[in-house]
Structure 1
Amino acid sequence: MNLGFNMFFTIVTIQISIIFVMKAAGQSTTEACNSCCTSGIPGIPGQHGNPGVSGPQGMNGVKGEQGMNGVKGDQGTKGEQGLIGEHGLKGEQGTQGLIGLPGANGVKGEKGEQASQQKSAFSVAFTSDPGRHAASPMKYNTIITNVGNDYNLDTGKFVCAIPGVYVFHVTSLKSSGGGTVLTKIMKNGSFQVSTLVSATGHNSASTMVVLDLVSGDQVWTQPHDTNNNYYHSGSNRHCSFSGFLLYAA
């Protein structure tokens, strides 16, 4: 900045010096001319000179100091906490009441009627020797038990009167003379189970079956055929047939 200012000052000084020299020269010429010559016609005005060089920008002023911040006020004093109230007194527990006396026993109900149970059972046997029995229903000649009278002594068949599940059992004794005994339990003409005796001498065998019957079904025993019918019985009832109702349907 100082260099620019000095240059500007030098240029201005030179211009002022030139102006004074020209003015002095002009005065001398005018005085000489006035003494010997008449006044001439004024000359054409000269052209304006070029604008002078812009002066340097002045220096920025000094920035003022920042004002002081206001003083922050003090925080107010916190108030004291209020006192806690006292707990209320707990009421006393009431006295438990007395247990009431037990009530009197109720009147005993009348005895209910027992449902009548349906019954059916039989046992029959040969008390004499049946010999070579035919391949047909065996007609046992002695009734031991016949609850319900469902066994028919004349036909040798048990006839179901109470629908339900029945158990049947047969025992057969073979004669000592040889041959075999094969006895079948039949239901309405259809074979169910059988028992076989084929050893020499007196030998017996038995079997049992459980059948589901409806009213009118018939059950009996009979030899398999005339080649397997060597029966033997007597007063000791070696050949027998039994059955009973297990439960009604």
Structure 2
Amino acid sequence: MLDLLLFPVLLCIPVVMLVPSPGGAPPPLCRRCCDHLDGPPAPQTTDQLGGLNQMPEVRTFINMTILKGDKGDRGDRGTPGKSGEEGTPGTRGPMGPKGTKGQAGIPGDPCKKQDAAFSVGRRKSLHSVDYYQALLFDTEFVNLYSHFDMFKGKFYCYVPGIYFFNVNIHTWNFKETYLHIMRNNKEQAIVYAQPSERSIMQSQSLMLPLDLNDEVWVRLYKRERENAVYSDDVDIYITFNGYLIKPTQE
């Protein structure tokens, strides 16, 4: 292949011929001042006219740029390697902020009964302690759809609307009576009686607008002043009642 590349180069080199002078004497050879550094002189030949020909010096030059090919296309991407080992789980991050209140649900079944009612009683007396106490009940007169939780002493609203509530208690001789009707954790009405040598029946009633899952209950005040409610195992002196007057959606 190298011979093929040199062939056009040789064709482009002009041939130098020495023509003899008219007097017949051979012309003197041209010498360069630095010929002795390039090695022995080139061999001489005689042409047809009797003159001497000096063979031109041929030096090979290869243009390397013509041998370098064009840049190839980028190859296809290789297949991904295997996944590494799973690292240890990190520590649990801090709790995020509380989300916004969600949208109201779809309307309920129009055929669902829109009513609620309860009436419960207590046969045991109760004295105040160092903390607030929910008044619990042990007798169930009416508990429609079990909306009143006997274990917690609370009525849970499953039908929003206007409700009527009533509580009746019996005071203790020479002790104060101090209770509240509660809606969730907010006092709504007080049931109060001053200490007296005679025990009396005391009552409180009110109406409340309730939303879904609201709680209504009776709370005995804590022991800043000794207070109590009276009852016994024979008769029921303490009652708590409530019922729906008008639902929000009819």
* TM-score relative to the length of structure 1: 0.51
1:11 corresponding residue in structure 2 = none
- Tell whether 2:169 aligns with 1:162: no
- The alignment of Structure 1 onto Structure 2 pairs a total of residues equal to 135
Secondary structure at 1:183 match in 2: strand
1:225 corresponding residue in structure 2 = 222
Query: Aligned partners of 1:135, 1:124: CA distance in 2, in Å?
Result: 20
Cα gap change, 1:210/1:185 in structure 2, threshold over 3 Å: closer, same or farther?
same
Aligned residues of 1:197 and 1:204 also touching (Cα < 8 A): no
Q: Select which of 178, 181, 184 maps to 2:180.
A: 184
Query: Aligned partners of 1:228, 1:218: CA distance in 2, in Å?
Result: 27
1:168 is displaced (CA, Å) by: 0.7
Cα gap change, 1:204/1:163 in structure 2, threshold over 3 Å: closer, same or farther?
same
Cα gap change, 1:122/1:228 in structure 2, threshold over 3 Å: closer, same or farther?
farther
Cα gap change, 1:228/1:244 in structure 2, threshold over 3 Å: closer, same or farther?
farther
More helix by share: 1
Query: Aligned partners of 1:179, 1:127: CA distance in 2, in Å?
Result: 19
Which deviations, in whole Å up to 9, do the C-alpha atoms of 1:170-224 show, x marking residues without a partner? Answer: 1111122x11101110001000001111232211211111110111000000112
RMSD: 2.0
Query: Aligned partners of 1:131, 1:210: CA distance in 2, in Å?
Result: 28
1:208-219 aligned at under 5 Å gives the runs: 208-219=205-216
1:116 is displaced (CA, Å) by: 6.3
Secondary structure at 1:241 match in 2: strand
Aligned residues of 1:182 and 1:228 also touching (Cα < 8 A): no
Secondary structure at 1:148 match in 2: helix
2:143 corresponding residue in structure 1 = 146
1:140 is displaced (CA, Å) by: 1.0
Sequence identity of aligned pairs in percent? 23
1:132 is displaced (CA, Å) by: 4.0
Which of the two has higher C-alpha Rg?
1
**Aligned residue type for 1:236:** D
- Tell whether 2:191 aligns with 1:195: yes
**Aligned residue type for 2:218:** T
2:202 corresponding residue in structure 1 = 205
Query: Aligned partners of 1:127, 1:182: CA distance in 2, in Å?
Result: 18
Query: Aligned partners of 1:184, 1:167: CA distance in 2, in Å?
Result: 15
1:127 corresponding residue in structure 2 = 123
1:130 is displaced (CA, Å) by: 2.9
Aligned residues of 1:120 and 1:150 also touching (Cα < 8 A): yes
Query: Aligned partners of 1:220, 1:170: CA distance in 2, in Å?
Result: 10
Unmatched runs of 5 consecutive residues or more in structure 1: 1-114
